[in-house]
A = this chain, B = another copy of it.
Amino acid sequence: MSGALKARVMVKLSAFMNDQQNLSQNLGYQKDAKLLIIHADDAGLSQSENKATIQSLEQGSVNSFSIMVPCPWFYQVALYAKENPNYDYGIHLTLTCEWQSFKFGPVLSAKEVPSLVDNNDFFYKSRKELIENANPKEVILELRAQIDRALHFGLNPTHLDSHMYSLGASEELLKIYHELGEEYKLPIMLNKTLVEEMSGLKDLLINSSQNAVVDQVHLGNYEEFKIGNLSKFYENSLKSLMPGFNLLLIHPAFNTSEMTSITENHPNFGAEWRQIDLDFFTSKKCEQILFENNIQMITWKDIKRLYYP
């Protein structure tokens, strides 16, 4: 499609958007369609994560992912994203590093964003520490630097989301998240339940005329993992999907020595968990379930086209 034609189609799509219709209809589906993005978080974190993310895209059912700019393997996955522009990928805005032995910090220097780093110049481990310490101006500076580095690299991201959903953890951070979306004309991943869980607050402003809000986020939980039920949880989630905008968040990686070391003493979203994610979402079974349940795979690119034509 030529640039001009593409632009016209986009304007048309945009015009087609109608408040009377729901997201499904605006995307060209039935009103009660079960829309789904299967999204791999944490690309760039490690070699194992990159390799598994790529395998899940090429040979599996994952159809979107997001990239952690401050992480050591950013370059490799960013190059892949640039060379494979058909895939849907966003920026996994990063302000925390939850690991025990493996640490990363801001793209900017510690001196430029002192409120975002611990005593060793790395990101804080928890959302709690982040909220207690972060200066909002420095949050904006650092997140702009992350997005700008990705753009400068030649990336063309489809969305923004947030590592550990830290940007949903306070009203102030949520506001910054909204502003960044509007500034860069990118949809941000918003979900009411997640915001409530992260912030402990109800009714924080998450709606936006500039954005589609995810109706249901599906994320494995530690209880299911502990009893060996993670694949079953994914299976059930897919089989019982409700109509609307669904987002299934996974973290595929190989259970290697690298990944075991990164996730040391952190079985929640640890190396074993991530291998299960990889295995399930590259299985024939998963493909079959998606097909049999009449699930419509959408992407953030589709959302972006609607809201930022």
Name A residues whose Cβ lies closer than 8 Å to a Cβ of B. 46-48, 51, 71-76, 79, 101-104, 107-109, 112, 120-122, 145, 149, 152-153, 254, 256-258, 261-262
Contacts and interface: CB of A to CB of B under 8 A. Distances in A.
Given A47-B262, A261-B51, A102 B120 contact: no
20 contacts: A46-B258, A47-B102, A47-B257, A47-B261, A47-B262, A51-B261, A72-B102, A73-B102, A75-B101, A75-B120, A76-B101, A76-B102, A107-B109, A109-B109, A109-B145, A120-B152, A254-B257, A256-B256, A256-B257, A256-B258
A115 B149 CA distance: 17
B104 A72 contact: yes
Given A109-B107, A262-B47, A101 B120 contact: no
- So how many copies of this chain end up in the complex? 2
Nearest to A113: B109
A72 B258 CA distance: 12
B258 A48 contact: yes
Given A101-B76, A102-B73, A120 B153 contact: yes
Contacts of A51: 257, 261
Contact of A108 (B104, B109, B254, B257): B109
Given A107-B109, A109-B107, A122 B75 contact: yes
Contacts of A257: 47-48, 51, 254, 256, 258
A108 B108 CA distance: 8
A120 B51 CA distance: 22
Contacts of A149: 120-121
A149 B108 CA distance: 15
Contacts of A102: 47, 72-73, 75-76
A121 B150 CA distance: 11
A261 B101 CA distance: 21
A152 B108 CA distance: 19
Contacts of A261: 47, 51, 76
Nearest to A120: B153
A42 to B, nearest CB: 14
A112 to B, nearest CB: 6
Given A47-B261, A79-B101, A257-B258, 14 more contacts: A46-B258, A48-B257, A48-B258, A51-B261, A74-B103, A75-B101, A75-B120, A76-B101, A76-B102, A108-B109, A120-B152, A120-B153, A254-B257, A256-B258
